[in-house]
């Protein structure tokens, strides 16, 4: 990470939303009583999805419900805006309003909460250091200090007790659209181990 932190700022732009080059991410993940999302990830199921509510730097003015989907190794992400009061109502089990909203993703979550008993499961915290590069629409991120709120759903508590995940990993992700420029490809060639990594699965290891 130290090598990349010294190398990437000379080649890439810091993300415009990052303060001092980084931001704090907190997510509340959903799962079923049988841990469907967790088991599908661990088992490498070809077609899978997971829901989470996410906001940044402890600022509840910008909250997103997100659904991440995977099919044959390709990922997509859908999102919908939510308010703090709406999130608190979902956590409290007050969900009737979700069926009437004009936001399709929230209606989909409502249906799965009713039919599959999907429910808030755990809080996942981490710090992200993001960089961007216009050619190829490249985005490089370093995620670290990954922590779990265990069984707590108290997502808006800035003093929520959390526990570091095993191994204290640092996650390097490189994403691009049409092509990955050679200068960026060479810049991120450091001593890393390529593998799939799920922050949600890592944060469930203490269950």
pLDDT at res. 171: 94
pTM metric for this prediction: 0.91
Model confidence at 42, pLDDT cuts 50, 70, 90, reads confident
CA–CA separation, 79 and 106 (whole Å):
9
Residue 99, CA distances (Å) to 21, 84, 159 in order = 39, 18, 33
Q: Which of 84, 33, 31, 19 is nearest to 198 (CA)?
A: 31
In the structure, how many helices (H) and strands (E) does the chain have? 6, 9
Tokens at 192, concatenated? 């890393």
Q: What is the 8-class DSSP label of residue 178?
A: S
Residues 6+ apart with CB under 8 A from 160: 123, 149, 152, 154
Domains parsed from the chain with CATH numbers: 2-203 (3.20.100.30)
pLDDT at res. 196: 76
Strand partners, 124: 27, 148
Radius of gyration of the chain (CA): 18
User: Which tens digit of pLDDT belongs to each residue from 88-143?
Assistant: 999 999 999 999 999 999 999 999 999 999 999 999 999 999 999 999 999 999 99
Q: Are 84 and 63 in contact (CB under 8 A)?
A: yes
Backbone torsion region of residue 145, taken as left when φ is above 0, otherwise alpha when ψ lies between -120 and 50, otherwise beta: left
Q: Which of 195, 201, 199, 181 is nearest to 135 (CA)?
A: 181
Query: What's the gap between Cα 5 and its chain centre?
Result: 21
Task: Flag whether pLDDT at 73 surpasses 80.
Answer: no
């Amino acid at each position: 990470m130290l090598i990349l932190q010294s190398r990437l700022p000379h080649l890439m732009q810091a993300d415009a939303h990052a303060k001092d080059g980084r931001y704090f991410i907190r997510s509340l993940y959903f799962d079923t009583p049988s841990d469907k999302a967790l088991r599908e990830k661990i088992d490498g199921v070809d077609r899978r999805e997971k829901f989470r509510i996410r906001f940044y730097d402890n600022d509840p003015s910008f909250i997103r419900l997100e659904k991440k989907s995977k099919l044959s190794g390709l990922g997509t992400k859908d999102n919908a805006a939510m308010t703090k009061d709406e999130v608190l109502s979902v956590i409290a089990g007050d969900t009737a309003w979700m069926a009437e909203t004009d936001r399709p993703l929230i209606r989909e979550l409502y249906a799965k909460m009713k039919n599959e008993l999907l429910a808030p499961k755990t809080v996942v915290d981490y710090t992200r250091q993001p960089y961007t590069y216009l050619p190829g629409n490249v985005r490089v991120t370093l995620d670290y200090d990954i922590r779990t709120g265990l069984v707590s759903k108290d997502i808006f508590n800035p003093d929520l007790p959390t526990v570091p995940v095993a191994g204290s990993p640092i996650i390097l992700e490189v994403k691009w659209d049409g092509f990955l420029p050679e200068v960026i490809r060479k810049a991120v060639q450091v001593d890393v181990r390529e593998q799939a990594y799920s922050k949600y699965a890592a944060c469930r290891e203490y269950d």
